């Protein structure tokens, strides 16, 4: 008979519930009946060591945690700035939040321990400040000029943000069976003075991802950690009361940072003559046509009637664009055999975080097991990251 794992039943129940996994699904993972599984949570029986390890992996908790005498203190839940009628976060969302919180907590404690300086821009402003002022400070701090990108806009923003000390994590899934839903979570921010983190759901295409990134940076600048969805400059058709004031403010900051007033007002009058010109200008700025149209409307560069007509045309063009992008991605997938798994993992970990962990491992200050756990990669595969970072 296989050895039993004499785990703490209350911790098993807590781990399952905090992962938003039903009794039925937990039982399936270890091929037992729900009734049998419940005997473990009730403390009337125990799983085998193998079964307990499978459950620990499924609930994304360390196996050793199951043997603690009482439920440990978990990470504080992030403030939920989503609309009141938003769906409850699912397992994939909760797991990615916990994954980023673990990384953020480790790097923040490390920086504080070694005496790193705090970042002056974290919490520099509040929601009572002028969003244009906050936007300008973000641009100045990161040394970004939206009128003169040297790389693709989203790449430049990520690189400049990480150079300034903000860790940027991007992912669309944890593994093949845990895919992130962009309707549930588009991004979140952890506004820490030593190691601020931004997460972006990369399920979206680049323009909404960039808007999400800058929106979350605004969260850092006003020190409001939290979860966001429905980040969208075009909130004119929805009741503003449903949006949290922090979200509205961060949207305004993002709009001003990505489309500064002086830049948009200097565009030629013919920019808004046709959707082809609008799309071309929006692409240069790394934003959507919708975002540019709303910004032009708010700056009174176009009328309400012009906005409505252009918006409908933009919607039609956007649908065609998405279809082309879908075909292009399918061809790329066929030619390359899918995206590089290590590049996806590098983006999920954050390039800056990966570099710091690997440096700590290479200089002997970090054990192989901790380094491997932090990067979710075997030590003998670290050279894959080294090549990508180079």
Q: 20: domain CATH number? A: 1.10.260.40
pLDDT at 177: 76
Same domain? For 230 and 249 the reply is: yes
Residue 31 lies in a domain: yes
Burial 72-93 (b: 16+ CB within 10 A, else e): eeeeeebebbbeeebeebebbb
| Total tally of structural domains belonging to the chain | 3
Torsion of CA 30, 36, 40, 42, to 10 degrees: 150
Do 242 and 375 have their domain in common? no
Q: Is residue 280's pLDDT more than 80?
A: yes
384 part of a folded domain:
yes
Query: What's the pLDDT score for residue 107?
Result: 96
- Which residues pair with residue 48 across a beta bridge? 4
Instruction: Summarize pLDDT for 311-328 with one digit per residue, the tens.
Output: 887 777 777 777 776 776
Single pTM value for the model: 0.85
- The domain in which residue 42 lies consists of 9-67
Out of 135-139, 204-208, 246-250, least confident range: 204-208
Average pLDDT of the residues in 339-361: 91
Are 38 and 100 in the same domain?
Answer: no
Shared domain for 83 and 63, answered yes or no, is no
Q: Are residues 29 and 153 in the same domain?
A: no
Residue 309 DSSP SS3: helix
Burial of 196 (0-12, 13-18, 19+ CB in 10 A): buried
| Distance of alpha carbon 29 from alpha carbon 373, whole angstroms | 22
- Residues 253 and 104 occupy one common structural domain: yes
> Cβ atoms within 10 A of the Cβ of 309, count?
13
Return the CA Rg of the chain. 23
């Amino acid at each position: 008979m296989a050895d039993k794992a004499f785990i703490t039943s209350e911790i098993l129940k807590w781990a399952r519930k905090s992962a938003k996994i039903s009794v039925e699904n937990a039982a399936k993972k270890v091929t037992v009946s729900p009734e049998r599984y419940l005997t473990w949570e009730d403390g009337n029986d125990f799983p085998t060591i193998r079964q307990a390890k499978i459950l620990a992996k499924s609930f994304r908790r360390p196996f050793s945690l199951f043997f603690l005498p009482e439920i440990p203190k978990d990470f504080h839940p992030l403030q939920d700035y989503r609309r009141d009628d938003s769906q409850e976060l699912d397992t994939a969302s909760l797991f990615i939040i916990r994954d980023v919180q673990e990384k953020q907590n480790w790097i923040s404690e490390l920086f504080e321990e070694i005496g790193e300086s705090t970042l002056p821009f974290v919490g520099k402003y509040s929601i009572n400040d002028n969003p244009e002022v906050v936007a300008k400070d973000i641009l100045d701090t990161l040394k970004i000029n939206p009128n003169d990108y040297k790389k693709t806009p989203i790449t430049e923003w990520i690189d400049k943000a990480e150079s300034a000390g903000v860790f940027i994590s991007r992912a669309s899934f944890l593994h093949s069976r845990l895919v992130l839903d962009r309707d549930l979570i588009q991004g979140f921010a952890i506004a820490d003075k030593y190691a601020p983190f931004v997460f972006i759901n990369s399920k979206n295409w680049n323009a909404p991802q960039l808007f999400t990134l800058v929106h979350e940076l605004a969260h850092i600048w006003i020190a409001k950690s939290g979860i966001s969805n429905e980040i969208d400059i075009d909130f004119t058709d929805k009741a503003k009361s449903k949006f949290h004031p922090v979200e509205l403010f961060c949207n305004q900051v993002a709009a001003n940072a990505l489309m500064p007033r002086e830049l948009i007002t200097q565009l030629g009058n013919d920019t808004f003559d046709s959707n082809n010109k609008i799309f071309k200008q929006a692409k240069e700025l790394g934003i959507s046509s919708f975002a540019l149209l709303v910004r032009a409307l708010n700056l009174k560069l176009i009328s309400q009637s012009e906005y409505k007509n252009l918006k409908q045309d933009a919607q039609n063009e956007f649908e065609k664009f998405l279809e082309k992008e879908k075909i292009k991605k399918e061809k790329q997938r066929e030619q390359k055999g899918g995206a590089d798994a290590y590049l996806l993992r590098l983006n999920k970990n954050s390039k800056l975080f990966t570099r710091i962990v690997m440096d700590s491992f290479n200089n002997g200050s970090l054990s192989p097991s901790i380094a491997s756990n932090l990067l979710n990669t075997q030590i003998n595969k670290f050279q894959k990251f080294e090549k990508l970072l180079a």
